[in-house]
Amino acid sequence: MTKSGIGTTISDKVRGLRIKRGISQDRLSKLTDLSLNTIVKIEAGKNRNPTIMTLSKIAKLFNVRVDDLIG
Protein backbone atom coordinates (compact mmCIF):
# COMPACT_ATOMS: atom_id res chain seq x y z
CA MET A 1 0.00 0.00 0.00
CA THR A 2 1.07 3.53 -0.69
CA LYS A 3 0.68 6.53 1.59
CA SER A 4 -2.70 7.28 0.01
CA GLY A 5 -4.00 3.89 1.11
CA ILE A 6 -4.28 2.77 -2.51
CA GLY A 7 -2.19 -0.26 -3.43
CA THR A 8 0.07 -0.88 -6.37
CA THR A 9 -1.77 -3.62 -8.27
CA ILE A 10 -5.02 -3.16 -10.17
CA SER A 11 -6.79 -5.28 -7.59
CA ASP A 12 -5.38 -3.22 -4.71
CA LYS A 13 -6.26 0.05 -6.43
CA VAL A 14 -9.84 -0.91 -7.22
CA ARG A 15 -10.39 -2.32 -3.72
CA GLY A 16 -8.76 0.74 -2.13
CA LEU A 17 -10.87 3.21 -4.09
CA ARG A 18 -14.02 1.25 -3.38
CA ILE A 19 -13.36 1.09 0.35
CA LYS A 20 -12.30 4.74 0.46
CA ARG A 21 -15.69 5.65 -1.06
CA GLY A 22 -17.49 3.34 1.34
CA ILE A 23 -19.29 1.22 -1.23
CA SER A 24 -19.75 -2.52 -1.41
CA GLN A 25 -18.62 -4.76 -4.25
CA ASP A 26 -22.27 -5.28 -5.13
CA ARG A 27 -22.90 -1.53 -5.30
CA LEU A 28 -19.76 -1.04 -7.41
CA SER A 29 -20.97 -3.68 -9.85
CA LYS A 30 -24.35 -1.97 -10.18
CA LEU A 31 -22.92 1.53 -10.55
CA THR A 32 -20.49 0.40 -13.26
CA ASP A 33 -22.88 -2.03 -14.98
CA LEU A 34 -20.37 -4.84 -14.47
CA SER A 35 -21.13 -8.23 -13.01
CA LEU A 36 -20.43 -8.80 -9.34
CA ASN A 37 -18.30 -11.76 -10.40
CA THR A 38 -16.11 -9.41 -12.47
CA ILE A 39 -15.57 -7.07 -9.53
CA VAL A 40 -14.83 -9.95 -7.14
CA LYS A 41 -12.29 -11.47 -9.55
CA ILE A 42 -10.54 -8.14 -10.14
CA GLU A 43 -10.25 -7.41 -6.42
CA ALA A 44 -9.11 -10.96 -5.65
CA GLY A 45 -6.38 -10.68 -8.28
CA LYS A 46 -7.86 -13.55 -10.28
CA ASN A 47 -8.44 -11.25 -13.25
CA ARG A 48 -5.11 -9.51 -13.61
CA ASN A 49 -5.86 -8.15 -17.07
CA PRO A 50 -9.36 -6.69 -17.11
CA THR A 51 -10.47 -5.17 -20.41
CA ILE A 52 -10.00 -1.48 -21.09
CA MET A 53 -13.80 -1.14 -21.19
CA THR A 54 -14.06 -2.64 -17.70
CA LEU A 55 -11.31 -0.39 -16.37
CA SER A 56 -12.90 2.62 -18.07
CA LYS A 57 -16.19 2.04 -16.29
CA ILE A 58 -14.45 1.73 -12.92
CA ALA A 59 -12.19 4.74 -13.56
CA LYS A 60 -15.14 6.89 -14.61
CA LEU A 61 -17.07 6.07 -11.45
CA PHE A 62 -14.09 6.94 -9.23
CA ASN A 63 -13.17 9.99 -11.33
CA VAL A 64 -9.66 8.72 -12.04
CA ARG A 65 -7.85 7.89 -15.27
CA VAL A 66 -7.49 4.32 -16.51
CA ASP A 67 -3.73 4.92 -16.29
CA ASP A 68 -4.15 5.53 -12.55
CA LEU A 69 -5.58 2.03 -12.18
CA ILE A 70 -2.94 0.38 -14.36
CA GLY A 71 0.23 2.23 -13.42
| The pLDDT value given to residue 7 | 63
Phi/psi for 4 (5° steps) reads -75, -5
Residue 64 φ/ψ region, left for φ over 0, alpha for ψ in the -120 to 50 degree band, beta for the rest:
beta
Domain range 10-70, CATH architecture: Orthogonal Bundle (1.10)
Tens of pLDDT, residue by residue over 18-61, are: 999 999 999 999 999 999 999 999 999 999 889 999 999 999 99
What are the residue boundaries of the structural domains of the chain, listed by start? 10-70
pTM of the entire structure?
Answer: 0.87
